[in-house]
Chains A and B, each alone.
Chain A
Amino acid sequence: MPELESFPQEVKDQLTSVGSADVVIGFTSFKATDDLSWAAGLAQDGLNVLIAYPGGGDVIEFQPIAGVQFLHYPASTPERYLNAPKNIFGSFQEVLQIAQRLASKSCCVWNSAPQLASADIIESLIKPVLDQNFDLVIPGYTTAKFGALINSGIICPLTRALYGRRIEFPMAVDLGFSPQLLNRLIQVDPNTRVPRSSQWITTEAICAGMQICQTALLMEPPRPPDSSDLSSILAAVLGRIFSDLERNAAFWQRSKGSRSAPAFGEPYTKEQDEVAVDVTHLIETFQLGYRNLSEIWGLALSPATFLELKKLTKSSTAAFRMGDDLWVRIVYEFALAHRQRAMNRDHLLRSMTPLYLSWVASYTLQMLDVSADGFHHRLEQLALAYENQKPYLLSRWRWPDRFNP
């Protein structure tokens, strides 16, 4: 990652001439045709706004907007702004460094497609920092019962159970930062020797005791590039979560219960009543996984969990149900195996794909006739299962022993 000192001279000169900015908005991908005229709305309250966009070719000539300046900065990989595959967790370091350099009062990093940004949306990410002294503003994207399943099934309830915060999208990639938080994120973590900004931002903020809030955005969660396969995404997400568990073990082992992060705006749940979903393919993958990956799963899963899976393979499609307790134990046992390095970590995480798909199949069958309210209730049940099983994770984390039920 290029450090600020390694920026080209003209960029450094421009930063010097800008001097300071109240708000820095950083895009991590950009095309010349992207429209930023909405930025005028941000400067109307007298704020001094700087929009940073990744450059690599010619500098783009924008229409002048009062109170808004533009800065192109060198991206760590030139292809990033050319619709090439992105880091699904977003990248923040350059924008944060620029915001720190300009002593900004609030910084917003936008990793989604630039055409989805608008004045209202960006404002909702920076206003809680400016007006109410929050350190991290996380978007609450539009939810749907069959959308963002990895988030519903793993990320959100696990964050709640282990880190004690109820956040809808803990791995959101469009975020608002305070100066305190961005100063912390720019620093290198002495344990991992990488900048904290390349680690899981939400848990960094939670463990540092920062103030976190959520803001409802009327947009769907960003999709990963089409070329990414589920197995890679799942392995990347789980890898990040499990690595984080190791790093923050001292924190999550002592947190108790959970509390909501304050939320602004009305969250929106998309109705998905007229949905036809065929889960046969998912169940087949699970059964194929059971037949072929048992040796690998056996390194992670306890005998009792394995036995439950064996019974599940014999279920008919209509009766295919994976209980919440079983799913949560699977996630926790893989976290333990990841920590114990029972095998190559990438293999371990990828081998979890059929298990995840079995959960998706079971969840989908349960949710087919369920309304939006029922959907939230269902997620609440799952989150409680994660919380209730936390002592199980704790006991096995503290006392690694193969002799488990």
Chain B
Amino acid sequence: MKLPGSAQDPLWFKDAIIYELHVRAFFDSNNDGIGDFQGLTQRLDYLQDLGVTCLWLLPFFPSPLRDDGYDISDYLNVHPDYGTLDDFRAFLDAAHERKMQVMIELVINHTSDQHPWFQRARLAPEGSKEREFYVWSNSNEKYSQARIIFTDTEKSNWTWDPAAKAYYWHRFFSHQPDLNFDNPLVLEEVQKAMNYWLDQGVDALRLDAIPYLIERDGTNCENLPDTHLIVKEIRRAMDENHANRMILAEANQWPNDVRAYFGDGDECHMAFHFPLMPRIFMALRLEDRLPVTDIIAQTPPIPENCQWGIFLRNHDELTLEMVTDDERDYMYLAYSADPRMRVNVGIRRRLAPLMENNRRRIELLNSLLFSFPGTPILYYGDEIGMGDNIYLGDRNGVRTPMQWNADRNAGFSRAIPAKLFNPVIMDPIYGYNAINVEAQDGDPSSLLSWMRNMIALRKIFQVFGRGTIKFLNPANTKILAYLRLWKGEAILCVANLSRFPQPVALCLENFAGAKPIEMMGYVEFPPIGSQPYPLSLGAYEFLWFELHQSKEGEAGTPISEKGAKYA
């Protein structure tokens, strides 16, 4: 039986606030030290209060868990540590009741080497359809131009399999062989898996690592034209049978290369804007808006029915693949003085430690996240300013249990601490005694309360999710100022990237006569004239203004920029 998703609007994702979480890290209901679906269901009220509208679940499928679940050994089930299929369905229903959408992973580039397909393929005769589920070669010289992604652990994209007596191809860990999409049966199976979950009512799928689906000799094996044919087919199959669903592409590429994954509105609905994210951090540290304005200027327009996904941090390292060498060196120096903080080509720290727990910086970056064009994606724990543990291996330092209260195990589980899947954060600054939901819940000055308010404010104005962006370029480069415009609404956002107060004069002559209303306190500012509009901003301060044209006898009405074009 096919169940519908919970969204009515085909473009629901444009107005969404996405919350990324790992089932096993969120809440443990059966006290085995591992979070589960029943626990997650119990905490849906918290998420509803927070105001997020879409939950993105990291992989929860059966897996040997050598890559935190991204090595899948069964696409059609739930890992027993997290519960059962019924638990999942109960969670999905509960989320839908609260008008929340649910997005799950569809990891189609590779499987675990424990997946039955691979176990079958390695023993199958060469050339057989079972064998051809994966990419094999007698030598490891093929596709030599493809880069290695997990540089810390892998020396090659080929690994010898003694049972198959051949090399198999893997863009990630050696225990994650890549599926062979040149074999039509692979796409069939992938679509079966996709339909299975969409039929349950899942609202969205995140396609993990899709630039790497197809390999061709003489190329770098990324973003090849045939990859897009696969994606188009997946999209077509989805649209045919399931309304109002969404596909989010994980393509860690330059904006022009990511643009291709939207197709003509017939591939992915959304894609992460990877290059923007490190540049936000860079701009903050350099106290200069140029890295941000530069990358947005390089970002091509996308189809009307598509959307960028923007984020500050996620479950992976803060990736520095899509920056120049100098920018990468700067980011390492600025944000990861200790080499232990680095993994692969990135920095494995959470938002709060990256900001050195400075509340103003955290708020400033979140204000950018909520006001830049795109759908914001929050990482679990960042709403309370959780810390990390750089001494845990791989990227596990940013995947520690959610901190609910100051009780044992941060209230995440009643199990003995040694059984937890990862230890809780315990240091005096970020530890669960200091940072937890319970403490912040009742405190109107807490970061959690602030996040709730900001999310609520953002949801009132569709312009943030659907509008265009136009940068103002004041002489003071420490100020990032931009207009968000959509259907008569105009929002002016001004952010001070510096740790010291800054003056700015903004050229807003196109809005002459309009009255800026500061949005948090609904405070009227002096009207805009023909001269540059002066403002002073405190350290890391940001201001959002509605621009209202007020005529005599009329309540303030939204205005349009003279001559501007809208979405």
Direct A–B contact in the complex, CB atoms closer than 8 angstroms = yes
> Is A45's beta carbon under 8 Å from chain B?
no
How far does the Cβ of B317 sit from chain A's closest Cβ, in whole Å?
18
Q: Is the CB of A401 within 8 A of B499?
A: yes
> Is A306's beta carbon under 8 Å from chain B?
yes
> Is B287's beta carbon under 8 Å from chain A?
yes
* Docked pose: A371 CA to B369 CA in angstroms: 56
> Is A277's beta carbon under 8 Å from chain B?
no
Q: Is the CB of B337 within 8 A of A307?
A: no
Q: Is the CB of A403 within 8 A of B358?
A: yes
Q: Is the CB of B330 within 8 A of A307?
A: yes
Taking A298-B337, A303-B285, A405-B285 as contacts, is the C-beta distance between A399 and B330 under 8 angstroms?
no
Q: Is the CB of B285 within 8 A of A399?
A: no
Measured between beta carbons, the chain A residues less than 8 angstroms from B500 are: 395, 399
Q: Is the CB of A399 within 8 A of B286?
A: no
> Is A208's beta carbon under 8 Å from chain B?
no
* Docked pose: A307 CA to B334 CA in angstroms: 10
Q: CB-nearest residue of chain A relative to B335?
A: A303
**Size range of the chain A interface in the assembly:** 10 to 19
Q: Is the CB of A303 within 8 A of B499?
A: no
Contact with B along A210-245 (1 / 0, CB 8 A): 000000000000000000000000000000000000
Interface centre among B286, B288, B355, B499 (most CB of A within 10 A): B499
How far does the Cβ of B126 sit from chain A's closest Cβ, in whole Å?
49
> Is A193's beta carbon under 8 Å from chain B?
no
Q: CB-nearest residue of chain A relative to B332?
A: A303
Measured between beta carbons, the chain A residues less than 8 angstroms from B337 are: 298
Q: CB-nearest residue of chain B relative to A403?
A: B356
Q: CB-nearest residue of chain B relative to A311?
A: B326
Contact with A along B328-372 (1 / 0, CB 8 A): 011001100100000000000000000110100100000000000
Q: Is the CB of B285 within 8 A of A310?
A: no
Chain B 293-341 residues near chain A, CB threshold 8 A: 326, 329-330, 333-334, 337
* Docked pose: A298 CA to B285 CA in angstroms: 16
Contact with A along B264-300 (1 / 0, CB 8 A): 0000000000000000000001111000000000000
Contact with B along A328-369 (1 / 0, CB 8 A): 000000000000000000000000000000000000000000
Taking A298-B337, A395-B500 as contacts, is the C-beta distance between A403 and B285 under 8 angstroms?
yes
Taking A298-B337, A303-B285, A304-B286 as contacts, is the C-beta distance between A402 and B356 under 8 angstroms?
yes
* Docked pose: A101 CA to B548 CA in angstroms: 80
Q: Is the CB of A310 within 8 A of B499?
A: no
Q: CB-nearest residue of chain A relative to B330?
A: A307
Q: Is the CB of B329 within 8 A of A307?
A: yes
Q: How many residues of B contact A (CB 8 A)?
A: 16
Contact with B along A305-334 (1 / 0, CB 8 A): 011001100000000000000000000000
Measured between beta carbons, the chain B residues less than 8 angstroms from A405 are: 285-288
Q: CB-nearest residue of chain A relative to B358?
A: A403
Measured between beta carbons, the chain A residues less than 8 angstroms from B355 are: 403
Which one of B288, B329, B334 lies within 8 Å of A310 (CB-CB)? Answer: B329
Which one of B288, B334, B358, B361 lies within 8 Å of A303 (CB-CB)? Answer: B334
Q: CB-nearest residue of chain B relative to A301?
A: B333
Contact with B along A137-171 (1 / 0, CB 8 A): 00000000000000000000000000000000000
Measured between beta carbons, the chain B residues less than 8 angstroms from A306 are: 333
Measured between beta carbons, the chain A residues less than 8 angstroms from B356 are: 402-403
Taking A303-B334, A304-B286 as contacts, is the C-beta distance between A403 and B499 under 8 angstroms?
yes
Measured between beta carbons, the chain A residues less than 8 angstroms from B288 are: 405
* Docked pose: A395 CA to B329 CA in angstroms: 25
Contact with A along B69-99 (1 / 0, CB 8 A): 0000000000000000000000000000000
Contact with A along B464-507 (1 / 0, CB 8 A): 00000000000000000000000000000000000110000000
Q: Is the CB of A307 within 8 A of B499?
A: no
* Docked pose: A381 CA to B500 CA in angstroms: 28
Measured between beta carbons, the chain A residues less than 8 angstroms from B287 are: 405
Q: CB-nearest residue of chain A relative to B288?
A: A405
Chain B 484-538 residues near chain A, CB threshold 8 A: 499-500
* Docked pose: A49 CA to B334 CA in angstroms: 62
Q: CB-nearest residue of chain A relative to B287?
A: A405
Q: Is the CB of B286 within 8 A of A307?
A: no
Taking A401-B499, A403-B499, A405-B285 as contacts, is the C-beta distance between A307 and B358 under 8 angstroms?
no
Q: Is the CB of B361 within 8 A of A403?
A: yes
Measured between beta carbons, the chain B residues less than 8 angstroms from A402 are: 356
* Docked pose: A304 CA to B330 CA in angstroms: 7
* Docked pose: A403 CA to B497 CA in angstroms: 12
* Docked pose: A311 CA to B337 CA in angstroms: 18
Measured between beta carbons, the chain B residues less than 8 angstroms from A303 are: 285, 330, 333-334
Measured between beta carbons, the chain A residues less than 8 angstroms from B358 are: 403
Q: CB-nearest residue of chain A relative to B333?
A: A303
Which one of B329, B334, B499 lies within 8 Å of A399 (CB-CB)? Answer: B499
How far does the Cβ of A101 sit from chain B's closest Cβ, in whole Å?
52
How far does the Cβ of A393 sit from chain B's closest Cβ, in whole Å?
14
How far does the Cβ of B132 sit from chain A's closest Cβ, in whole Å?
48
Measured between beta carbons, the chain A residues less than 8 angstroms from B285 are: 303, 403, 405
Measured between beta carbons, the chain A residues less than 8 angstroms from B361 are: 403
Measured between beta carbons, the chain B residues less than 8 angstroms from A399 are: 499-500
Q: CB-nearest residue of chain A relative to B334?
A: A303
Contact with A along B392-432 (1 / 0, CB 8 A): 00000000000000000000000000000000000000000
Measured between beta carbons, the chain B residues less than 8 angstroms from A403 are: 285, 355-356, 358, 361, 499
Measured between beta carbons, the chain A residues less than 8 angstroms from B334 are: 303
Contact with B along A367-405 (1 / 0, CB 8 A): 000000000000000000000000000010001011101
Interface centre among A298, A307, A310 (most CB of B within 10 A): A307
* Docked pose: A146 CA to B285 CA in angstroms: 38
Measured between beta carbons, the chain B residues less than 8 angstroms from A298 are: 333, 337
How far does the Cβ of A263 sit from chain B's closest Cβ, in whole Å?
38
* Docked pose: A402 CA to B358 CA in angstroms: 11
* Docked pose: A402 CA to B500 CA in angstroms: 14
* Docked pose: A311 CA to B325 CA in angstroms: 11
* Docked pose: A402 CA to B353 CA in angstroms: 13
* Docked pose: A212 CA to B247 CA in angstroms: 76
Q: CB-nearest residue of chain B relative to A299?
A: B337
Interface centre among A303, A306, A307, A311 (most CB of B within 10 A): A303
> What 20 additional pairs, Cβ within 8 angstroms, besides A303-B334, A403-B285, A403-B499?
A298-B333, A298-B337, A303-B285, A303-B330, A303-B333, A304-B286, A306-B333, A307-B326, A307-B329, A307-B333, A311-B326, A395-B500, A399-B499, A399-B500, A402-B356, A403-B355, A403-B356, A403-B358, A405-B285, A405-B288
User: Considering the complex of A and B, which 8 residue pairs feature the smallest CB-CB distances, nearest first?
Assistant: A303-B333, A303-B334, A405-B286, A306-B333, A307-B330, A405-B287, A307-B329, A403-B356
Q: Which residues of B contact A (CB under 8 A)?
A: 285-288, 326, 329-330, 333-334, 337, 355-356, 358, 361, 499-500
A/B interface sample: 28 pairs, CB < 8 A: A298-B333, A298-B337, A303-B285, A303-B330, A303-B333, A303-B334, A304-B286, A306-B333, A307-B329, A307-B330, A307-B333, A310-B329, A311-B326, A395-B500, A399-B499, A399-B500, A401-B499, A402-B356, A403-B285, A403-B355, A403-B356, A403-B358, A403-B361, A403-B499, A405-B285, A405-B286, A405-B287, A405-B288
